[in-house]
Each structure stands twice: as C-alpha cells, then as structure tokens.
Structure 1
C-alpha cells in the first residue's frame, strides 16, 4: 500500500504458494500434469486415492513448502493411511495432496522473466531419493528445450500471471511432439543451481529487467477518492469511497 515495486503480484504469490491452487490454474489452461487429488481431511483419503486411480508408489505433498520439504514418497496403502492419520493428528487443519508418481531420472527447471525463457537446467534425481532439488543435493546440467516445452512453460507462467517464475516439469518421451508434465510454478526461485548450469548471471538479468520502470508492478498508494457529503443531522462530512 506504499507504492513499493513488486516482482510478482500478490495474486501470483498466493497461487504459487499453494500447490493445489497452482494445479487448478494450470488445469484451466489445459496443461498436462500428474493426476492430482486434494486430501482436506482424514475422511477424504479414500476418495482422493480413488480419484487419481493409479498404482503405488505415489507422491504426497503439503500445500505449502519449497526446496523439496513437505514432499513424501508413499510406497503402499498402509504407508498412505498411516501418514495421513499422523499428519492430521499433528495438525488437524493441514491440507495435503497426492499425485501419481511419474518415474524419471531427472526433472527440468525453466526460468521465465517478463514472458521470455532466460535459462533452463536439468536436475538429476538424487541417488537413494526421488527428489531432484538442488537444495537437497541434486546435480545440475544445462538443458536444451524443445519448442513445445518452451510454449508449455510460458503458458504455465502466464496461468499464474507471473513475471519472474520458475516452471518445473518432467520431460515426455518425445519432447518435440508430446507436452511435458508440469509439476509446479515457483514465484521466488533460487538462482545458484541454474546459474551454474547455464553459465548466466540470472540475478543480474532480473535486476536489469526491473530497472526499466515499465516492467515494475506497483501496489496503488490510494484507492478511491475523497468527497464531501451532507448527512442530516451531522452536517458536512468528508468521506473516502
């Protein structure tokens, strides 16, 4: 409310901070994603597993979380039941989602700035784990995107109305003709791993982008206007509408 420049809007931050809201937005834009279901309570766990209609293992996530924290690998129905019950016993208000597990040895992160792809990297799945996050020890390398992958990533960023975002995806069997599986969109991506993989100074490019006043998002300092109104029996009042 004081006119400070925002890298991404409040709307974008709110969507990306909630994995299920992100899923719904990406779904609206027709993007390919792993089959996903929400578990708002213990009573909904069976409904959720029926909805995704897939074999174990599956992936469970808390709606908020980053750097691979809050992402669980569930290998059996017994483990699934136990985890849902445990997490809800610790926090009855916790919301969880489950997704089909798409077996892969890597995922891809793409940095988008101002509607353009500026860098991409592949992250190898960590040995003995199923995650690939750099913060968890994932190894990175440069990655050449297909035209279809570029198109899908730009669409994912647009779906959340992002300015500076990272789109994570699992490549399809044929990246040129089959769309990737979009995993999530990050509104505040780290740069260390992708700078190493791409050889680019991503932080510098972001700063240069926002040096241009036309690229800045500002929250209005004031909404509405002042008007003098006369209300009996109080007389004249100054009101803000």
Structure 2
C-alpha cells in the first residue's frame, strides 16, 4: 500500500513509529506536511499538490493534525476523502473532536458519564456559574487549550469568579467543570483502535499539580480497565466517529467520567507505559480497510 502521514513535524516519536511499523509490513509510506499542500478543486477531479507535484495513487492517509492548523488540515483530509483514500481519522470527526463544547454535547447525547460542565456567552452572573458547577473548587478550561495549557483549578469561589471574569473581559471562551476530588489528580488514557481498547495507562500529576498531562511532568503506568471503563472508552470513540482515539477519563464515585476524546493521540506515552506495539496495530487497521 501507499500510505501518507499528514504531519507538520516528521521528527515526532509517533510519526517515526508509524513509518517503522509500515515499512516493516512492506508498505510505502511518506510524511507530507499538510500545511504545505495545495488543494485543487475541479469538477469530478479533486487533487492535492505537494511541493509542486501532484499526489497520486494514495491508498490511505494518517492525519496527525495539530490543533493550531485544524481548519486547513481538515480541508486537506477532506480532499483526500474526495480522492477516495481511506483515512484513519475522518475530517468530520476531526472537526468535532477539536471543539470541546461540541464534543461534550455529543458525548452527553450518547449517554456517557461527564463532569458537570457549564458554558455561557460571557455571562456576568459568575457566582451562579460556579454554583451550577457544584461550587468551588472548580476547573476552568479554555475551549482552545491543549496538553493542559489553559486549564486552571480555582480552589475557592472568589478565585473562580475572578478567573472567569478575567477570561470574559479578554473575550476568551471557557467552560467551567466540577472538580472530581476522588480522582486524586490522576486520569486514564484509553487508546482505542477500530472499536477496541488496545492499551490503557493511568497518568498521575506531579506533586502539587492537578493536571496529569505527561507534557506537564506527569507520570504514566499501565492499568487494566474495568469493564465499565472499557465500554465507556469504546462508546466515546464511536460517538465521536473516530477509528483511532485517545479517550481521557476520570475514575469517580459515580463511575467513569469522560474528560476528552483526542483525535490525534500520541504514541510515545502509551507505548512506553504498556510495552505494546500500537503503531503496528494502526497499520493493521489500515490494511483491513483498504
């Protein structure tokens, strides 16, 4: 097969592992910087040019689209879909996953457990917002934040009100979520491929840090999911329309609560924590669909 990885950074661990796995299984694979692609739209003849050359005879693409270039990256994925290429992440699912509010609405409709979340249009009644989220402490998140950036724990009601007011004045959209104390600063990343959990790790924030992201100094260890947690992860990926997903969830007294569904989950943390060859699992997923 002829596979293209859509990535702006060919040096990433995830990109290199996918190249290694595809090459080992005798496929042709190449990294294309989607931000440098030109899209040509013509009647019944969609095509993509890269560095002046027309891209042809592509069997599959693996989108690794950064959050900052979602709009253009999605357009490139959509063009490959029009060229009848299989994509491990469909364009519509990519768009949904990057919109935190829309994602939560979709997950809620699917009947999945979620931390109680409040979103308003720059409401000045910030006291009521904090109360609706269950009172302090609360988590305040920028809608556009990634990798733990733009996520704040407000430990008192006064602090929460001040932070929300500050974001409102900056015209920065935020969501306010209840704080799940029993999670203890840890969350679970379940890696889903083609409707199956292929690996799971528990991420623990460093001391004094409520965010468990590995990019923020958190640590990861392998974990065996309960049946309820595994079902929730699979259902979340399906609800979002994602063939490959990193589902982040919290362990709470009322069962697993979905935090986020990531459409471009990194491989480094999960492979090192579990010792599993997830890159090859992704290549096999492509083989079954092409």
Query: Would the TM-score normalized by the shorter structure come out above 0.5?
Result: yes
Distance in 2 (CA, whole Å) between partners of 1:84 and 1:60 is: 8
Post-superposition offset of 1:154: 0.8
Root mean square deviation, CA, Å? 1.7
Q: Does 1:27 align with 2:103?
A: no
1:217-236 mapped onto 2 (5 Å cutoff): none
What do the CA deviations read for 1:115-138 (whole angstroms, capped 9, x no partner)?
111000001122111010111111
| Partner residue, 2:145 | 65
Q: Does 1:112 align with 2:192?
A: yes
Deviating above 4 A after TM superposition, structure 1's stretches of 4 or more consecutive aligned residues are none
Task: Flag the structure with higher helix content.
Answer: 2
| Partner residue, 1:137 | 217
| Partner residue, 1:229 | none
Determine which structure has greater relative contact order: mean sequence separation of CA pairs < 8 Å that are 6+ residues apart, divided by chain length.
1
What's the TM-score, normalizing by structure 1? 0.80
8 Å contact kept, 1:59–1:98: yes
What do the CA deviations read for 1:40-94 (whole angstroms, capped 9, x no partner)?
2142534432432x1311000111222111111111222222212222333x2x2
1:1-241 mapped onto 2 (5 Å cutoff): 1-2=79-80, 3=83, 4-43=85-124, 45-52=126-133, 54-90=134-170, 92=171, 94-103=172-181, 104-105=183-184, 106-173=186-253, 179-214=255-290
Residue 118 of structure 1 aligns to a residue whose secondary structure is strand
8 Å contact kept, 1:42–1:84: no
Post-superposition offset of 1:206: 1.4
Gap change, CA 1:155 and 1:44, over 3 Å in 2 = farther
Residue 153 of structure 2 aligns to a residue whose secondary structure is strand
Distance in 2 (CA, whole Å) between partners of 1:45 and 1:204 is: 48
8 Å contact kept, 2:167–2:173: no
Instruction: Extract unaligned runs of 5+ from structure 1.
Output: 215-241
8 Å contact kept, 1:195–1:201: yes
What's the TM-score, normalizing by structure 2? 0.67
Instruction: Extract unaligned runs of 5+ from structure 2.
Output: 1-78
